[in-house]
Structure 1
Amino acid sequence: MYPSSLFQALLLSATLVPNVFAQSSTTTDPTQRAELALSALQIWYNAGSGLWNTCGWWNSANVMTMVSNLAKHDSGNAQLVNLATRIFANTIVQAPAKNPQPGVESQSATKRSNGNETYDLFNSTGKESGYYKMIGEDAEPITIFPKDWDKAEYIDVKNLPIMQPKEQVTTVAASNPNDWLDGFYDDDLWWALGWIGAYDVTKDTQYLTLAEGIFKAVTKAWPTACGNGGIWWSWQKDYMNAIANELFLSTAAHLANRVQDSDKAFYVDWAKRELDWFTNSGMINERGTINDGLTNDCKNNNRTTWSYNQGVILGGLVELNKASPDATYLPLAARIAKAAISELSDSDGVMHDACGPLCGGDASQFKGIFARNLQILHDAAPDAAYVKSIQANAGSIWDNNRDEGNMLSINWAGPFIAPANASTHSSSMDALVAAISVN
């Protein structure tokens, strides 16, 4: 299934933690568990593409965010931080060539009126590649890639010049924000958050500048056809959903806490505008959980309360509260978090999405995104309910959802479902990383 350089990849990854297989069965240390899982994850990292094989375009951005979080949690591990730094430096160079639909967002849109509001509608550009995302009959997101998109020669990370022995990678190549845009605004913002994570680990301002450029490009998706606010899901402007808007809020709030003081107000203003629109949109239901999006007549569509829709907003609210404190932000986050834990957990406290256990390539990452952001909320407003949830999920993953090679699959409650892939594994790792700070 994997190329001959797998053995080299294993040698590289195994250096993080010695005696990998001997230690994995007995260790109870959350940090060591996460690093053992990282060793397994590196099998899928393709240095030639800058992405993780077996998962999609935005999914690799999400994997990168998880790697940066682990590096931040264990910042004293120089080898881990150096590995993360090299991954960032390689991905920023290699990954743009795998953008499944570059240039499509530069369309000249048609202006249409809806009552007193004017907004942009899709207008074909001839740059469509066949990359498409849709909602399936069971409400699960489905991504369709251009033919042979996932075909890429495997190159071991050690064989690239950026990975040759040196104490630390100190510079990265500048990147054009347009290289990361693919017509779906949630994808764009996953990459923006990924580069913010890279900046947090390395303090290289080129990563932060790239994230700013991506965010500013996405502001053109504002407003939607509802309430003169919010952003569309895609360049086709045919769906207003939760995840794109939560990511817009979270990215703006993250940037507000990292840019120069002279630029902070710009991002705070966008985050507040988004939050005001979102809380008035109706997507937060009476139970306190968040449905997938809005109907064409601007009503809650009552579609699935996916775990990632309950998660991303938590991190956004925490970051906005740091940037511009408000007494309502953390209570709102707590209400959503506790409603989600109640609604999406089984009797053992283990999270499940509606598609489970056999979710597709997108939904297989959702639970980890919730765990990641729940930990962020706990850091800002500690709560025993968050600790219980994170520990229950991380413990069950390690005990019930892991094979002999420390591969982590889709069903956090177990049993292990083969084969694992980079999406299922990184999602599970998000919970393992979250457990480090609540132990």
Structure 2
Amino acid sequence: MYPSLFIHTVMLSASFAANAFGQSDISDPTTRAEFALSALQIFYNAGTGLWSTTGWWNSANALTIVANLAKVDGNQQLQSLASRLFANTLVQAPPQNPQPGVEGNHNKKREDLNDTLVIFNSTGAGSGYNKIMDNNDEVVTVYPEGWNKPTGAYIDVMQLPIYKTGEKAKIATADVNDWIDGFYDDDLWWALGWIAAYDVTQDKEYLTLAESIFAAVATTWGTNCGNGGIYWSWQKSYVNAIANELFLSTAAHLANRADDKASYVAWAKKEINWFTASGMINSRGTINDGLTSNCKNNNMTTWSYNQGVILGGLVELNRASPDDSYLALAAKIAKAAIAELSDDSGILHDKCEPSCGADGTQFKGIFVRNLQLLHEAAPDDAYVKFIQTNANSVWMNNRDDGNMLSIDWAGPFINPANASTHSSAMEALIAAITVK
């Protein structure tokens, strides 16, 4: 890894950095998050547009995290960094797509919600990229040999021409096929990432790309479970919670930003109606991983991210088409998840800890990100307490001398941290800014 000059010269003024490093601890939520971003950017390879030590979909989440901090932090240097990072990733990341072209003809558009157009695997040219469930119900992503291992020197973000002082970040024209890989959760993580980039920059290119990704996934609507919902992937072997929650959230986010609001509202409503009838929400109010082959709740692990993504989707749908039932359902799921997944001290955990793989390490931050959205829409002291408790524990108990953040938010720090553990824990720090 190359220690990026960003730490001192992009986001923080010299005097601010000197004062902050001189303190034994930092209590201000914004300052904590800024220093965490400095550490996160050590992992960012401007040559690939991704964060090293983590995966393709994880980098989409890291991009979203940078955008979310830029939205709540008034630091103009940070916002400038974010806009340039988005532009760079848009150009540099597509060659890292682990399985481009596994499906074809994505640009066909479904004309209405009753259309039966379904396009799967027109090429059949799988790359070896795959996702499987291990014996502990944890997702394990398998990448093609040599994936994201570019030759040559690590490229620091400050060395790119796009980062010249005073030069506005240039936005490249995006091709939707660069961002889809046959796993619909991956596709929609990137769609949400580009929506977050649009929120910061107001550059329509990002919103258009997100719409195109959503349109490609929407052509796959209709599973063997009531002819509704979407499968996890082009293989059509599993109907799971995360892909469908992301479909809901992306549609609802687009409803509040894109021109064709009515169409996106209709998609979001169609998804939430199917999802709530599917049985994936259990009697405790939490969400299991997915459905069996005969369309019953599989009673697999209630991962934290499955409790989180739906919250943001319901908040955005309620914003686009107000209905008291949406926020009521979100509150029920959020409080059930906090009760089920927190330890006696109120710290969030997933069952794979402390040995989570590269996927499970990302999950908890996604829950907190979406809980933050729910709190903004329907404030609740319970959410404030949860967010502050977890953020304080991350900073005080789960951080090394270089401000790297690890897997167990309760502590102690487990070496080594990576871009996934760090970015996930950083989400608690960002959420704490909004509730201070």
TM-score (norm 1): 0.93
Q: From the superposition, tell whether residues 124 and 320 of structure 1 become closer, same or farther in structure 2 (CA, over 3 Å).
A: closer
Judge which range, 123-132 or 80-89, deviates more. Answer: 123-132
Equivalent residues of 2:265, 2:320 under 8 A apart: yes
Deviations 1:213-251 (A, max 9, x none): 000000022101101110000000100000000000000
Equivalent residues of 1:410, 1:416 under 8 A apart: yes
Does the residue aligned with 2:409 lie in a helix, a strand or coil? coil
Equivalent residues of 2:176, 2:209 under 8 A apart: yes
Q: From the superposition, tell whether residues 317 and 204 of structure 1 become closer, same or farther in structure 2 (CA, over 3 Å).
A: same
Measure, in 2, the Cα distance between the counterparts of 1:40 and 1:291: 33
Shift of 1:159: 1.5
Deviations 1:293-348 (A, max 9, x none): 00010000000000000000000000000000011000000000000000000011
Measure, in 2, the Cα distance between the counterparts of 1:364 and 1:341: 18
Query: Match for 1:91 among 85, 89, 97?
Result: 89
Measure, in 1, the Cα distance between the counterparts of 2:269 and 2:371: 21
Partner of 2:156: 156
Measure, in 1, the Cα distance between the counterparts of 2:320 and 2:188: 19
Equivalent residues of 2:103, 2:120 under 8 A apart: no
Measure, in 1, the Cα distance between the counterparts of 2:180 and 2:144: 16
Shift of 1:105: 1.9
- Residue identity over aligned pairs, in percent, reads 67
Query: Match for 2:300 among 303, 308, 316?
Result: 303
Equivalent residues of 1:13, 1:42 under 8 A apart: no
Partner of 2:428: 431
Equivalent residues of 1:107, 1:125 under 8 A apart: no
* Aligned ranges 1:2-401 → 2 under 5 Å: 2=1, 5-6=2-3, 8=5, 10-12=7-9, 15=12, 18-19=17-18, 22-23=21-22, 25-74=24-73, 76-106=74-104, 125-152=123-150, 153=152, 154-166=154-166, 168-169=168-169, 171-260=170-259, 263-401=260-398
Q: From the superposition, tell whether residues 210 and 184 of structure 1 become closer, same or farther in structure 2 (CA, over 3 Å).
A: same
TM-score (norm 2): 0.94
Shift of 1:20: 7.3
Measure, in 2, the Cα distance between the counterparts of 1:64 and 1:178: 19
Does the residue aligned with 1:207 lie in a helix, a strand or coil? helix
Deviations 1:401-421 (A, max 9, x none): 000000000000000000000
Q: From the superposition, tell whether residues 378 and 123 of structure 1 become closer, same or farther in structure 2 (CA, over 3 Å).
A: closer
Does the residue aligned with 1:18 lie in a helix, a strand or coil? helix
Q: Which blocks of at least 5 consecutive residues in structure 2 are unaligned?
A: 107-115
Measure, in 2, the Cα distance between the counterparts of 1:244 and 1:126: 21
Partner of 1:112: none
Shift of 1:357: 1.6
Aligned length: 423
Does the residue aligned with 2:324 lie in a helix, a strand or coil? coil
Partner of 1:113: none
Shift of 1:125: 3.0
Deviations 1:90-116 (A, max 9, x none): 0000000100000002289xxxxxxxx
